[in-house]
Structure 1
Amino acid sequence: MGVAEDAALFLQVDFEVFGHVQGCYFTKFTRDMCVELNIRGWVKNSKNGTIVGKMQGTKPEIHKMVEWLSKEGSPGCKIERCELTNWGTLVRLDYKEFSIRF
């Protein structure tokens, strides 16, 4: 059946969040949310004033995180938009954890 097949696959997506997102602990909150949802990958502040990263995890968790990155974010942030690129599926995760990069 399709359900067992889908369960074996992981989603991955790159993200970039635009708006007032630096200086409000956005990377820390992103990491904490991803750890809670068992999503792996990384996040960092970009030189352009955005937040960039890569997420890998199960479809429902990735979709929860996409929603959070697009609409909610950390307290005090103002999200203009979230661009999601390089969607793909994986059989196994490339990362052991979710980390903040500098």
Structure 2
Amino acid sequence: MAANFVFTEILFINIFICVLPIYFADKPESVLSNGNSFEEVEMAAKQLFSQDFEVFGKVQGVFFRKHTEKQAKQFGLRGWCMNTSQGTVRGQMEGELNKINEMKYWLQTKGSPNSRIDKAVFSEMKEIPDYTFKAFTIKR
């Protein structure tokens, strides 16, 4: 009985991995459920965007910039962040849309362990043709 189940499971996996990609590969009309083609989704993932941010709350003296730099690098983002004289942290990030959105969520809800985020404000997102920065850095 167990051997039958394993055989069925392996057969299903082989069909899913081997046959379905071949079936859909030659169909130019292959679209995702949202109506976009696979090529359109792949192109959108490679588009670059830029967005400014400012975070309010207890974000100075709590290693907020260091954690922001680390998180941005983990997401593959480029840009900068810095303390302001008003007690906030400002910055700019560049990268793929989904990674910028993940970083926005992090800036709004997580921050450094000892920080307190009251609010995060973001500029309008702009599409950019190429990166402006080589990495994500802390400005002093």
TM-score in terms of structure 1 length:
0.95
Inter-partner Cα distance in structure 2 for 1:95 and 1:87:
16
Deviation digits for residues 75-100 of structure 1 (CA, Å, limit 9, x no counterpart) = 11110000001410112111100000
Inter-partner Cα distance in structure 1 for 2:58 and 2:46:
37
Inter-partner Cα distance in structure 1 for 2:81 and 2:49:
16
Unpaired runs of 5+ residues, structure 1, are: none
Q: Which residue of 1 aligns with 2:83?
A: 45
1:4 positional shift: 3.0
- Normalized per residue, which structure has more helix? 2
Unpaired runs of 5+ residues, structure 2, are: 1-38
Matched pairs, number: 102
* Higher alpha-carbon Rg: 2
Inter-partner Cα distance in structure 2 for 1:16 and 1:67:
13
Q: Which residue of 1 aligns with 2:111?
A: 73
The structure showing larger relative contact order (alpha-carbon pairs under 8 Å, at least 6 residues apart) is 1
- Give the root-mean-square deviation of aligned CA atoms: 1.0
1:7 positional shift: 2.4
Query: Are 1:63 and 2:105 an aligned pair?
Result: no
